[in-house]
């Protein structure tokens, strides 16, 4: 086993590299399925270390570090896309260190940091190659924000014989450098809401001659809020997030339909399915009371599964992270956002780490997907160290 001090020295050696890389990627973000220059840059960096690149989608790929000695095969995953958000000049405390140069596009979820730490791991593990055995598959997943790159990636990885897969998400709700690698559910699964409340349009002066779906939709939402309190298992949380209600275009026209959308989030799949069933039943029955009906769109369905960490991988990582970074472990952290990393459990047992980036003095800590989002560069070293540690633990 490679000594902790060797790992820490290597992380220190590459600290400037990962910070500068993060800044470059942050300044040059690209949207999902459009990460062409990002992908080219990442491929160039891994090829510098002699890794073989296999393209999976137009921009998503994996690269293999082969030690030349028999052993296990592990996977290490990062996402690469940005979001359609106009970045603010400031973070929560003042001027940010680096800002997107692309109008209306921003790394507002930490993927720039994920990529930078992964490239740091490529370099460190390449440096240590002569002391290792087996293979490391570095996974660069495109379009994570819209879930459009993971299906092809999982299919490409299945034949490779991977025994364990690791990923990291930088977390704005944790203090810089803190790390959570607990077993069990860590990020929520989701179900989508996509429905129209159908009435009958008419002149606003004679609502009695029409069937007004605006009132029907309002009562559906009220009924759902009551059902959520009284019909769901209180021991298994499912959140109801209504984000859109759209109907009508004029003040004297009763519309023929009102659109409602949103999502459910849960850590227990059976509880999520039960909540979706309640949503459908209550919506239909309440709409009928108001002479309306419900048309569910194709997206009213179960979506992503929860991210669930493997017990054995988590136990080993907890023990070794505690040794590498004393006092940095935190526990019982869950995040109600959803992540395509859940799909990698179809390839191999997996572990998803949270690494904190919140620093009040610097100004990082705004919510993910927020135009004030920023990350503390000091957090990158802990992400890198934990990533390298996982590889050494599981090869």
Query: DSSP for 282-302?
Result: HHHHHHHHTT-EEEE-TT-EE
| Burial class for 130, CB neighbours closer than 10 Å (0-12, 13-18, 19+) | exposed
Residues 144 and 339 sit within 8 Å (Cβ to Cβ): yes
The CA distance from 219 to 286, in Å, is 7
The upper half-sphere exposure of residue 349, i.e. CA atoms within 13 Å in the direction of its Cβ, equals: 13
CA-CA-CA-CA torsion sign (159, 161, 164, 168): negative
Residues 192 and 265 sit within 8 Å (Cβ to Cβ): no
CA-CA-CA-CA torsion sign (225, 229, 233, 238): positive
Query: What's the pLDDT tens digit per position in 135-168?
Result: 999 999 999 999 999 999 999 999 999 999 999 9
1 pLDDT higher than 90: no
The upper half-sphere exposure of residue 44, i.e. CA atoms within 13 Å in the direction of its Cβ, equals: 7
Element (H, E) at 24: helix 15-27
Query: What's the pLDDT tens digit per position in 185-241?
Result: 999 999 999 999 999 999 999 999 999 999 999 999 999 999 999 999 999 999 999
Phi, psi of 296 (to 5 degrees): -90, 130
Assign a CATH topology to domain 4-187+306-393. Aminopeptidase (3.40.630)
Phi, psi of 4 (to 5 degrees): -55, -35
390 pLDDT higher than 90: yes
Output the CATH code of domain 189-303: 3.30.70.360
Q: Which residues are registered as beta bridge partners of 354? A: 169, 180
Query: What's the pLDDT tens digit per position in 271-328?
Result: 999 999 999 999 999 999 999 999 999 999 999 999 999 999 999 999 999 999 999 9
Q: Please give the distance of CA 316 from its chain centroid, rounded to a whole number.
A: 23
Query: What's the pLDDT tens digit per position in 116-133?
Result: 999 999 999 999 999 999
29 pLDDT higher than 90: yes
Region 365-384: mean pLDDT is: 98
Map residue 87 onto helix, strand or coil.
coil
Element (H, E) at 196: strand 189-198
The CA distance from 11 to 125, in Å, is 11
Q: Which residues are registered as beta bridge partners of 190? A: 265
Q: Chain-wide mean pLDDT for the chain?
A: 97
Region 347-366: mean pLDDT is: 98
Region 377-386: mean pLDDT is: 98
Q: Where are the domains of the chain?
A: 4-187+306-393, 189-303
Pinpoint the alpha helices (H) of 264-379: 269-289, 311-324
**pTM for this entry:** 0.94
């Amino acid at each position: 086993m490679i000594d902790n001090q060797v790992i820490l020295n290597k992380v220190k050696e590459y600290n400037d590299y990962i910070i500068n890389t993060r800044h470059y990627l942050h300044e040059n973000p690209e949207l999902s399925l459009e990460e062409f220059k990002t992908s080219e840059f990442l491929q160039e960096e891994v090829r510098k270390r002699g890794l073989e690149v296999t393209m999976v989608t137009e921009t998503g790929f994996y690269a293999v570090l082969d030690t030349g000695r028999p052993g296990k095969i592990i996977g290490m995953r990062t996402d690469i896309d940005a979001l359609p958000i106009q970045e603010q000049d400031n973070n929560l405390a003042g001027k940010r260190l680096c800002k997107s140069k692309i109008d209306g596009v921003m790394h507002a979820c930490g993927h720039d940091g994920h990529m930078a730490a992964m490239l740091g791991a490529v370099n460190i593990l390449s440096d240590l190659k002569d002391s290792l055995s087996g293979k490391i598959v570095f996974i660069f997943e495109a379009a994570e924000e819209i879930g459009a790159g993971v299906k092809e990636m999982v299919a490409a990885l299945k034949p490779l014989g991977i025994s364990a897969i690791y990923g990291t998400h930088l977390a704005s709700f944790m203090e810089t450098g803190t790390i959570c690698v607990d077993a069990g559910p860590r990020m929520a699964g989701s179900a989508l809401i996509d429905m129209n409340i159908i009435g009958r349009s008419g002149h606003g002066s004679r609502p009695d001659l029409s069937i007004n779906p605006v009132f029907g939709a309002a009562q559906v939402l009220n009924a759902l809020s009551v059902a959520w309190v009284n019909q769901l298992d209180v021991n298994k949380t499912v959140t109801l997030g209504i984000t859109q209600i759209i109907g009508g275009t004029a003040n004297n026209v009763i519309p023929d339909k009102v659109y409602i959308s949103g999502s459910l989030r849960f850590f227990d799949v059976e509880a999520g399915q039960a909540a979706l069933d309640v949503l459908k039943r209550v919506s239909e029955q309440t709409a009928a009371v108001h002479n309306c009906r419900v048309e569910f769109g194709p997206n009213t369905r179960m979506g992503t599964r929860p991210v669930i960490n493997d017990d054995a991988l988590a136990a080993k990582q907890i023990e070794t992270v505690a040794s590498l970074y004393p006092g940095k472990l935190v526990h019982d952290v869950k995040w109600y956002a959803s992540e395509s990393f859940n799909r990698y459990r179809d390839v191999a047992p997996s572990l998803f780490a949270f690494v904190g980036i919140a620093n009040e003095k610097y100004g990082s800590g705004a919510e993910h997907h927020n135009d004030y989002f920023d990350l503390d560069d000091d957090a990158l070293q802990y992400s890198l160290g934990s990533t390298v540690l996982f590889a050494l633990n599981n090869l």
